[in-house]
Amino acid sequence: MQKLVSYSGEADFSHGKSMYHGHHVEVYSLPCKRSRITAPFVFNGQIRKKPKTTIEILPDECLFEIFKRLNGNQERSSCASVSKHWLNLLSTITQSSNQESKGHLSRFLKGKKATDTRLLAIAIGANSHGGLGNLSINGNNPTRGVTDFGLKAISRNCPSIKDLSLWNLPSISDEGIIEIAKKCHNLEKIDFCQIPISNKSLIAIAKNCPNLKEINLESCSNLGNEGLQEIGQSCQKLKSISIKNCSQIVDQGIASLLSSLSYSLMKLNLQGLNIGDMSLAVIGHYAIEITELALTGLCKVTEKGFWVMGNGQGLQKLKSLTITSCFGVTDLGLEALGRGCPNLNRFALKKCAILSDNGIVSFAKFALSLETLLLQECHRVTQYGIFTLLVKSKLKNLTLENCFGIKDSVPGIPFPCSNFLESFSIRNCPGFGNNSLMLLGQLCPQLQNIEFTGLDGITDEGFALLIESCEAGLVSVRLRNCPKLTDKMVSELCKIHGGTLDVLNLDGCTSITDSSLVSVASDCLLLTELDVSGSGITDSGVAALACAVHLNLRILSISNCRLVSDKSLPFLVKLGESLAGLNIKKCYGISNSGVGLMADHLWNCDILS
């Protein structure tokens, strides 16, 4: 017993052995389980906690194999939402072909939201919602923007993509675009602007995307002729191509492209390129299916280039032509274009300083199908040229912008009447005055739509001569920033054309007052759009409009009318029963509470305040 009492836990005490050896009794201890240790392990005085069991301790190779075996898109999306680490791993797995993913989704990333992480999330999640069809990225996050890693994820997971637009992404390269080309064979449209890619990207797209129909390239300084040559040879379904400010593309690239696509290409836009007369000659010869052509800032093209293009007889199907800032456009070249484009319907000529009256008159004489013409900053075109053009052509729509060569004068010879012009717009041509208005009315009795902007020289007297001559009845009248037009003109207009007038815009006509609104309320039976912004109307004028039983306005703008106050609220609410849009910006007499009151009542009307 003494031995038992003095036991200190040393080695002489053991399970299953005798603890006391006396003369009469022997005590025996049965074997027992080892006790569970719940306290932390202590080694060298430091506490080490037992590590938790978690899937995160698995190496990436194991997680990769697990993720590869996920069958459904929903499971992949759920796993991707666990952590960025899992999202990155999932994005590296090529998604098996899914027949249900037909590319119904459109996604747009801009500025700070344009990151690889968001792109990975789109790549993983798109297939569970019908597949990605349209991806547009504009700009970059300044610290963690879109790179080739994000584009590769799109290529592996979104083979259904058809429309890809990449703008201002300095961190991507050929590597990312080539991966897209190799795996996204359904691409039909690409739009690249200011991205550092080379011909390798275009060649890969051309070889792997046979369904490509539209290409837009802008400010991609590393692109050259080789890429365009491959596009021309491989993309026989291409319908539209636009190339802007790509400095390495020259005549050879344009020639090889157009000669290969002469039977498919329908739209062509060339801007700011180092091309010359040879390219225009190729257009004139090979562009036999082109219906829309735009040429901008081609400084190396001369008169010869436009002359050869017009005489090439290849533009027989051309319907729309725009020429901007091309100093080689002369009267001779324009006449040749008129001869060579017999089906041209719309023509816009902008910033062509050398062109004169003879050129536009000769062009219209031969372009017998021409119906719409825009002249902008053509300062050698005069009043005589404009009205001669109207008489000798079948123009239906004419627009003049910033043409300072037009002077208001009485012509020395009479002009015959033209019964074709229906719409006439003139903006910021200060020389256009009352004499020109009178002549316009005499020559064009079928006018229905007129727009005058920034004409300080026209007055009520001149405008009265015009509206009295319009036999067909004016439908749309837009008079912006014409300060000398007054209530007298509006009253005359409403009396004569109130039965046909649909749109009346008097924005910035500071001499307009409540009397004009009274005339509108009294005589305009079909008016749906009225704009009196920046005028001198008051609450009384708004009340007059509201009292017109027959008036059924859809759009009303009284912005910057500072004499309109909360007293107009009940009248605006009454007018709002038919309104779809109401503009009361800068109406400082209307309180915020008044705006809220209107919003409560006019729930079917968009209010700008």
Q: According to the model, what pLDDT value does residue 217 have? A: 97
Q: Which residues contact 593 (CB under 8 A, 6 or more apart)?
A: none
Q: According to the model, what pLDDT value does residue 412 have? A: 60
**With bands split at pLDDT 50, 70 and 90, how would you rate the model's confidence at 349?**
very high
Q: According to the model, what pLDDT value does residue 132 have? A: 87
Single pTM value for the model = 0.83
> Which of 398-402, 527-531, 574-578 is the least confident region?
574-578
Mean pLDDT of 363-377: 94
Answer whether 466's CB lies under 8 Å from 497's CB.
no
Q: According to the model, what pLDDT value does residue 100 have? A: 44
Q: According to the model, what pLDDT value does residue 345 have? A: 96
Q: What is the mean pLDDT of the chain?
A: 87
- 8-state DSSP, 129: G
Q: Which residues contact 376 (CB under 8 A, 6 or more apart)?
A: 348, 349, 350, 351, 400, 401, 402, 403
- The residue among 531 and 111 whose pLDDT is bigger is 531
Q: Which residues contact 96 (CB under 8 A, 6 or more apart)?
A: none
> One-letter amino acid identity for 212?
L
- The residue among 86 and 167 whose pLDDT is bigger is 167
> How many whole angstroms separate alpha carbon 40 and alpha carbon 55?
23
- The residue among 390 and 21 whose pLDDT is bigger is 390
Q: According to the model, what pLDDT value does residue 151 have? A: 92
**With bands split at pLDDT 50, 70 and 90, how would you rate the model's confidence at 4?**
very low
Mean pLDDT of 98-115: 75
pLDDT digit string, tens, across residues 293-303: 999 999 999 99
> One-letter amino acid identity for 154?
I
- In terms of phi and psi (left: phi > 0; alpha: psi -120 to 50; beta: otherwise), the region of 313 is left
Would you say residue 240 has pLDDT above 80? Answer: yes
Q: Which residues contact 206 (CB under 8 A, 6 or more apart)?
A: 212, 227, 230, 231, 233, 234, 235
Mean pLDDT of 193-218: 96
Would you say residue 6 has pLDDT above 60? Answer: no
For 481, the enclosing helix (H) or strand (E) is none
Q: According to the model, what pLDDT value does residue 588 have? A: 94
Would you say residue 122 has pLDDT above 70? Answer: yes
Structure tokens at 603: 């729930």
**With bands split at pLDDT 50, 70 and 90, how would you rate the model's confidence at 268?**
very high
Mean pLDDT of 9-14: 44
Answer whether 224's CB lies under 8 Å from 208's CB.
no
Answer whether 320's CB lies under 8 Å from 296's CB.
no
Q: According to the model, what pLDDT value does residue 12 have? A: 45
Q: According to the model, what pLDDT value does residue 498 have? A: 95
Q: Which residues contact 429 (CB under 8 A, 6 or more apart)?
A: 400, 401, 402, 403, 404, 406, 455
**With bands split at pLDDT 50, 70 and 90, how would you rate the model's confidence at 116?**
confident
Q: According to the model, what pLDDT value does residue 159 have? A: 87
Q: According to the model, what pLDDT value does residue 131 have? A: 77
Mean pLDDT of 247-257: 95
Would you say residue 508 has pLDDT above 70? Answer: yes
Answer whether 495's CB lies under 8 Å from 470's CB.
no
> Which of 53-57, 128-132, 299-303, 510-514 is the least confident region?
53-57
Would you say residue 500 has pLDDT above 50? Answer: yes
> How many whole angstroms separate alpha carbon 386 and alpha carbon 383?
5
Mean pLDDT of 417-425: 90
pLDDT digit string, tens, across residues 426-460: 999 999 999 999 999 989 999 999 999 999 999 99
Answer whether 369's CB lies under 8 Å from 345's CB.
yes
For 164-197, b where at least 16 C-beta lie within 10 A, e where not — what string? bbbbbbebbbbebbbbbbebbebbbbbbbbebeb
Residue % of the chain over a pLDDT of 90 = 68
Would you say residue 249 has pLDDT above 90? Answer: yes
Answer whether 84's CB lies under 8 Å from 116's CB.
no
Q: Count H helices, E strands: the chain?
A: 22, 24
**With bands split at pLDDT 50, 70 and 90, how would you rate the model's confidence at 27?**
very low
> Which of 117-121, 478-482, 526-530 is the least confident region?
117-121
Q: Which of 212, 217, 199, 256 is nearest to 233 (CA)?
A: 256
Q: According to the model, what pLDDT value does residue 99 have? A: 43
Q: Which of 342, 350, 251, 255 is nearest to 295 (CA)?
A: 350
> How many whole angstroms separate alpha carbon 362 and alpha carbon 343?
16
Q: According to the model, what pLDDT value does residue 307 have? A: 96
Mean pLDDT of 407-420: 76
